[in-house]
Amino acid sequence: MKKTKIALVQMESLVGERQRNLKKIEHYIKEAYKNKVDIICFPEASIDGYSKQVDCAKDEEVSKLRKILTAWAMDYSITILVGFIEGNSTDKPYITHLIITPDGKIDFYRKSHLGKSEIEHFSSGNELPVFKTPTSSIGIQMCWETHFPEISRVLALKGATIIFTPFASPVKTGEKGIWLKYLAARAYDNTVFIAACNLIGTNGKGATFGGGLLVLDPKGNSIGEDFNGEESILFVELDPELINCIRKEESSMKFRYYMNYRRPELYKEICKYQ
């Protein structure tokens, strides 16, 4: 991993107001460019607004959207992580996060673990990919999915050094306290940076989101946060020295890379109990 400057955004995204949401997204990308950011991450479903009754874009609309985002990534030399609702051949769309790198390459992550209230309305993705950016390897673990330590472990084993966790969480109070409990564990157990961002305000259809921005280092310590209750962008520079040192085991027992000492042959029962 190289030194990486990231930006996290908490924003209000209204359902049915894609152009309004995109205008706001472009504004934050420009702010990130001014601050020489390598990667900017927006919340879950930030392009379309999070709702279980979102009208999915048609193929030509998705193609136009990708062209716009690709142009921004290339023009501003930045990797963009942004969420939308992706239609498919069924009546149940995916909750998708796009990853667009400065060379114009587009990848996607489809939410693989759906919450109880989402299963009826959305389709599940079936892959846990890791994506290469110019400065680091990254994974994405969305909202509800952050409660599953197996996802973080797989992403770390595949080489992710930063896991971005975009939320559309309706929790209004105590989010920081909750995040610091289990997101810190994800960071510490897997020796990764965790970068969380959440929708804030209303979606225009009756739902309200709690907001919050948080960055944790590979030992689970907060190195950047914003819980001011308003739309905002947070800039944090990630120093790779600690994570590189731990993963190469160039230091004392205090910074040992525990995953090198796992015994996978003993863990097969995890898959047995379903």
Mean pLDDT of 172-190: 87
Please tell me the least confidently modeled range out of 14-18, 143-147, 178-182, 245-249.
Answer: 245-249
The per-residue pLDDT for 254 is: 67
């097969």: which residue's tokens? 268
pLDDT tens digits along 190-221:
999 999 999 999 999 999 999 999 999 999 99
Nearest by Cα to 207 from 13, 70, 33, 47? 13
3-state secondary structure of 192: coil
Q: Please tell us whether the domain made up of 4-272 is placed in CATH 3.60.110.10.
A: yes
Q: Is the dihedral of CA 153, 164, 126, 124 positive or negative?
A: positive
> What is the reported pTM?
0.95
Domain ranges in the chain? 4-272
pLDDT tens digits along 237-254:
999 998 988 888 766 666
Mean pLDDT of 6-35: 97
